[in-house]
Structure 1
Amino acid sequence: MADTLAHTRSVPELIAKLFRDLTDLFRKEGELVRAELSEKVTQLQVGVGKIAAGGITLLVALIVLADALVVAVAELIGTVEVSDNNTGWAALIVGGVFAAIGAFLVRSGTTDLHVDNLTPDRTAQQMRRDGELAKEQLR
């Protein structure tokens, strides 16, 4: 059927249709680029948020660990009595947990911000395929 339609159209009509189709293709590719870049900006914002949350969590961990160190050193030199409910060890454990969570968040955030994760790969691949298809159609 396409062959029948092609034979009934004139060359100027076919060229006009080709330009309309190409214009449509480039417009849709532009929309695809915008959509994927919007996705990448959201990923960037999430990554920055993770790094900020990780930094705050690490700051809390540093405060707790510093408190634990003060209590542990005080117990070591004997100025604080050792009791059954030893708060130094509890603070050390809590600080360690906060440090692990903070380190995870910072690492995860920096991974999200890696340049390879922010390039619009799907759009570039689709544009390559469209270019190859257009070349084949012109032959």
Structure 2
Amino acid sequence: MTAPYPTDHSRDRSEDVAETSVGDLIGNISNDLSQLFRQEVELAKVELKQEAGKAGKAAGMLGVAGFAGYLAVVLLSFAVVFGLSNVMDPGWAALIVAAVWGIAGAVLYANGRKQLKTVDPMPRRTVDTLKEDAQWLKNPTG
């Protein structure tokens, strides 16, 4: 059975609340908001780091695709020069080597481009939580 009157503990708490000044309340709100802001910045850092990793991987693939294109040009040149002494017609030898490197470059380029499209520079979770925080600030009771 509960007591009809508040316990001493609840009376102490209500006295503490009653004695809290407006300045203290504003200070508490200010501290809470600054802590919330720091947490949001930290979340944004984590999200941006993840997206930067994805962008780095895609850029690496595009770099390899560029290198493959460069090798296609170099090998095409060498194939033309050295192909003259082969049994095969020099033109066909050069085309085969160039086609192999061209295909490799095209595949790497397509994969890198596709992965680069998945990079999202916007920290979505941070934006969502900031919207929630703004909504809470507008209506803290509901």
| TM-score bracket for this pair, using the shorter chain length | 0.5 to 0.7
Q: Separation in 2 of the partners of 1:110 and 1:6?
A: 63
Matches within 5 A, 1:67-82: 67=79
How far does residue 124 in structure 1 lie from its aligned partner after superposition? 1.6
How far does residue 50 in structure 1 lie from its aligned partner after superposition? 1.4
Per-residue CA deviations over 1:29-66 (Å, capped at 9, x if unaligned) read 11112222223333332222211111111222344566
Matches within 5 A, 1:5-16: 8-9=16-17, 10=20, 12=22, 13-16=24-27
Matches within 5 A, 1:2-41: 8-9=16-17, 10=20, 12=22, 13-41=24-52
AA aligned opposite 2:25: L
TM-score, normalised by the number of residues in structure 1: 0.62
Higher relative contact order, chain-length normalized (CA < 8 Å, sep 6+): 1
Q: Separation in 2 of the partners of 1:43 and 1:19?
A: 37
| Matching residue within 119, 122, 127 for 1:119 | 122
Q: Does 1:130 align with 2:141?
A: no
Tell me if the contact between 1:64 and 1:91 (Cα under 8 Å) persists in the aligned partners. Answer: no
Describe the shift of the 1:102–1:6 C-alpha distance in structure 2 as closer, same or farther (beyond 3 A): farther
Percent identity among equivalent residues? 23
How far does residue 132 in structure 1 lie from its aligned partner after superposition? 1.5
Equivalent residue for 2:62?
51
TM-score, normalised by the number of residues in structure 2: 0.61
Matches within 5 A, 1:69-108: 88=92, 92=96, 95-108=98-111
Alignment RMSD: 3.9
> Which protein is bigger by CA-based radius of gyration?
2
AA aligned opposite 1:122: R
Describe the shift of the 1:129–1:105 C-alpha distance in structure 2 as closer, same or farther (beyond 3 A): farther
Structure 1, unmatched stretches of 5+, are 83-87
The structure with the greater share of residues assigned to helix is 1
